């Protein structure tokens, strides 16, 4: 069961770095990123919220996030959708904790929706652009192979918590829940809702509580 406790400021002995990773077709000004930062400013001023723009190639995203983490054990990641994938991946690579919000677990599969009837896969090269995000990232056919090569291992299940909305209209929440249940990750699955987590203002207190507790492990 999940319980929410208010953690006092004096238990955050030094600044905790919280990196919010937005999803596809979003950017560093994502609504949930802003809600997260506003909540922390009001309730936990010792938490530094960083909101990087991930509209870049997967290799560049990993390089950027590694540079922000730099083996800083005070870092916790929060990732939504595709940002949840990268949060899990960086947790695997660096051992930092992560809170995942309706995470994408297999982008190489979910991104195949961009391969409509106008694409003949036999004629595609790795440089062929299959989709351009609102933030300007040009997803290429080669990116699908990158994501396939970097499937999530979930090496640190005790350092990950997942919030799922079972009414997610974009990603199959039941598949995601089964994936993380099998890995031994704690999952809070809430009935209804949507992919963007429209009630995030209600959920943010729980999300930050999880992040703090993972940081204090």
Percent of the chain past pLDDT 90, that is, above it, reads 85
pTM for this prediction: 0.92
Tokens 């509209």 -> residue: 55
Predicted confidence (pLDDT) at residue 90 exceeds the cutoff of 70: yes
Which sequence spans correspond to the domains of the chain? 12-106+153-215
**What is the spatial distance between Cα 7 and Cα 12, in angstroms, rounded to a whole number?**
8
Q: What is the mean pLDDT of residues 109-128?
A: 84
Q: Give the CATH superfamily of 12-106+153-215.
A: Alpha/Beta hydrolase fold, catalytic domain (3.40.50.1820)
pLDDT at 116: 73
**Average model confidence (pLDDT) for the chain?**
92
Quote the DSSP letter at residue 101. E
DSSP sequence for 103-145: --S-HHHHGGGG--TT--GGG--TT-EEEE-TT--EEEHHHHH
pLDDT at 71: 63
Inter-residue contact 55 to 133 (CB < 8 Å): yes
pLDDT at 119: 74
Q: How confident is the model at residue 72 (pLDDT cuts 50, 70, 90)?
A: confident
Which residues are CB-neighbours of 22 under 8 A, at least 6 positions away?
28, 30, 32, 33, 51, 53, 54, 80, 83
**Residue 110 corresponds to which tokens in the numbers above?**
């979910």
**What is the spatial distance between Cα 49 and Cα 116, in angstroms, rounded to a whole number?**
38
Inter-residue contact 52 to 119 (CB < 8 Å): no
Give, for 149, the enclosing helix (H) or strand (E).
helix 141-149
Q: How confident is the model at residue 3 (pLDDT cuts 50, 70, 90)?
A: very low
Q: What is the mean pLDDT of residues 181-198?
A: 98
Closest CA to 50 of 60, 62, 40: 40
Predicted confidence (pLDDT) at residue 68 exceeds the cutoff of 80: yes
């Amino acid at each position: 069961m999940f319980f929410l406790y208010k953690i006092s400021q004096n238990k955050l002995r030094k600044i905790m770095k919280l990196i919010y990773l937005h999803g596809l077709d979003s950017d560093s000004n994502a609504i949930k990123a802003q809600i997260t930062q506003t909540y922390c400013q009001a309730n936990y001023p010792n938490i530094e919220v960083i909101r990087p723009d991930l509209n870049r190639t997967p290799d560049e995203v990993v390089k950027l996030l590694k540079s922000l983490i730099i083996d800083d054990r005070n870092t916790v990641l929060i990732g939504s959708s595709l940002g949840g994938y990268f949060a899990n991946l960086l947790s695997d690579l660096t051992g930092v904790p992560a809170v995942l919000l309706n995470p994408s677990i297999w982008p190489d599969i979910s991104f195949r929706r961009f391969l409509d009837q106008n694409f003949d896969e036999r004629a595609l090269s790795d440089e062929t652009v299959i989709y351009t995000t609102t933030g300007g990232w040009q997803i290429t056919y080669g990116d699908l192979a990158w994501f396939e090569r970097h499937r999530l291992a979930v090496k640190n299940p005790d350092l990950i918590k997942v919030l799922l909305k079972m009414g997610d209209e974009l990603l199959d929440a039941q598949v995601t829940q089964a994936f993380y249940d099998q890995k031994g990750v704690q999952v809070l699955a809430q009935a209804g809702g949507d992919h963007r987590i429209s009630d995030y203002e209600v959920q943010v207190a729980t999300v930050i509580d999880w992040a703090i507790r993972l940081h204090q492990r």
